[in-house]
């Protein structure tokens, strides 16, 4: 039974319950939109105050050396890399997801000269679709699309023409989690290189990019990482590719000797060449501060909490919302869910507007999808039950 007593018992036994105090969630708000913008981490305001008042205010340009600003893209990149399952020296933080994806798609395609097909998820996030189409035009590739359930077959159908495959780890509409390891292996069997967008997975789902042989991964810092609005993105490139990386965006930060100011570009060693332009220090260090909450967190435990929340959510929907026009869109199987639950309803827009007025913040994807992000660091089972009760009262 999905009762208040059942929710309270689950919350009493929650090993991550204490993590709630690490976030500044406004009183009276049940925040279910962390898959779009994570809640503010409690340590961020003071960290930014110090960066502005002490580092920038007192050290001025000396902050690049005295305060470690110059190395921050690599240092923060390695912190994110831990959440990706990546060994140090393969991840860079900075720029936007769009920039990182463009850079990675082109670099990946250049690793497979003579091949001319770029295969992408037919229902991918719009930015990913726009950029894949642009890269295909620029490089003279044939852009093919395939639904994710048919992606493995589409990879095989490309034959020896496949250069790059790209998709999102979690479907942004439905919250379905795809088989990264299996599809990466299928890409490699076809002779291609894979680029995963893990924006809706990093910080919520344990990833293993090194173990799974993933070539490239990109993602944002403002969803489950809670790095703040417009937080820097990140790019991962497997070490085996570093000596052959020929990315299109060759900014001065990625130069082997950036302060020599030579007219010709010479790439830095290793992942350093994946740096592009001057980093946005304030937002990068806000992200760095937000990542502190993951220190000491076992991602397997966080995943277990997320699954517990979503299982309870599904049980609540079954018990309290049956016959009220709702459809469960997210898969019921644990292994197929990310940290998001999506419900279909013909009045999705009206319902979410009313929910937000009542203090329950989720979001809508047209035409009829209600999305609820389930961040196990600051959500409780009691809040899930309250959310479903609120939905019931509106239908």
pLDDT tops 80 at residue 143:
yes
Report the pLDDT value the prediction gives residue 389, as an integer from 0 to 100: 98
The string of pLDDT tens digits covering residues 90-108 is 999 999 999 999 999 999 9
Could you give the angle at which helices 151-158 and 180-189 cross, rounded to 10 degrees? 10
Q: Which CATH architecture has domain 47-294?
A: 3-Layer(aba) Sandwich (3.40)
- How far is residue 239's CA from residue 247's CA, in Å, rounded to a whole number? 15
pLDDT tops 90 at residue 1:
no
Catalytic residue positions, numbered: 125, 197, 222-223, 371
What's the mean pLDDT in 123-135? 96
From the candidate CATH numbers 1.10.645.10, 3.20.20.140, 3.40.50.2000, 3.90.1150.10, the one assigned to the domain spanning 4-16+298-393: 3.90.1150.10
Report the pLDDT value the prediction gives residue 371, as an integer from 0 to 100: 98
How far, CA to CA in Å, does 113 sit from each of 104, 155, 342?
Answer: 15, 17, 40
The string of pLDDT tens digits covering residues 212-256 is 999 999 999 999 999 999 999 999 999 999 999 999 999 999 999
- How far is residue 180's CA from residue 167's CA, in Å, rounded to a whole number? 9
CA dihedral 334, 10, 16, 332 (to 10 degrees): 10
Report the pLDDT value the prediction gives residue 265, as an integer from 0 to 100: 96
The string of pLDDT tens digits covering residues 369-395 is 999 999 999 999 999 999 999 999 999
CA angle 33, 126, 182 (to 5 degrees): 85
- How far is residue 259's CA from residue 354's CA, in Å, rounded to a whole number? 55
Report the pLDDT value the prediction gives residue 227, as an integer from 0 to 100: 98
Spans of all domains in the chain: 4-16+298-393, 47-294
pLDDT-derived band at 277 (thresholds 50, 70, 90) equals very high
Q: Are 355 and 374 in contact (CB under 8 A)?
A: no
| Both structure tokens of 124 | 């991918």
Q: Which residue has the tokens 């070539």?
A: 215
């Amino acid at each position: 039974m999905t009762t208040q007593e059942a929710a309270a018992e689950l919350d009493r036994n929650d090993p991550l319950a204490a993590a709630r105090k690490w976030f500044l969630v406004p009183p009276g708000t049940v925040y279910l939109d962390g898959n779009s913008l994570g809640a503010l981490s409690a340590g961020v305001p003071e960290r930014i105050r110090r960066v502005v008042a002490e580092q920038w205010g007192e050290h001025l340009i000396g902050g690049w050396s005295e305060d470690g600003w110059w190395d921050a893209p690599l240092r923060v990149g390695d912190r994110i890399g831990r959440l990706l399952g990546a060994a140090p020296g393969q991840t860079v933080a900075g720029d936007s997801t769009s920039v990182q994806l463009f850079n990675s798609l082109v670099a990946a395609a250049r690793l497979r000269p003579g091949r001319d097909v770029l295969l992408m998820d037919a229902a991918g996030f719009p930015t990913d679709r726009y950029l894949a189409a642009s890269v295909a035009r620029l490089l003279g590739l044939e852009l093919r699309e395939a639904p994710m359930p048919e992606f493995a077959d589409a990879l095989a159908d490309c034959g020896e023409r496949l250069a790059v495959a790209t998709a999102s780890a979690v479907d942004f509409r439905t919250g379905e989690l795809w088989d990264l390891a299996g599809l990466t292996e299928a890409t490699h069997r076809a002779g291609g290189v894979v680029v995963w967008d893990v924006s809706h997975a990093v910080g919520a789902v344990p990833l293993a990019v090194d173990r799974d042989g993933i070539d490239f991964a990109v993602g944002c810092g403002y969803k489950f990482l809670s790095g703040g609005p417009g937080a820097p993105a990140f790019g991962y490139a497997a070490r085996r590719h570093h000596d052959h990386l020929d990315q299109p965006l060759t900014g001065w930060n990625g130069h082997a000797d950036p302060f020599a100011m030579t007219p010709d570009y010479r790439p830095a060693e290793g992942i350093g060449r994946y740096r592009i332009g001057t980093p946005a220090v304030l937002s990068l260090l806000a992200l760095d501060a937000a990542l502190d909450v993951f220190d000491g967190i076992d991602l397997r435990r966080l995943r277990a909490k997320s699954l517990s929340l979503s299982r309870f959510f599904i049980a609540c929907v079954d018990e309290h919302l049956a016959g009220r026009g709702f459809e469960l869109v997210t898969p019921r199987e644990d292994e197929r869910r990310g940290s998001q639950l999506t419900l279909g309803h013909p009045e999705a827009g009206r319902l979410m507007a009313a929910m937000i007025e009542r203090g329950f913040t989720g979001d809508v994807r047209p035409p009829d999808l209600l999305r609820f992000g389930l961040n196990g660091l600051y959500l409780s089972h009691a809040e899930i039950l309250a959310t479903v009760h609120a939905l019931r009262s509106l239908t």
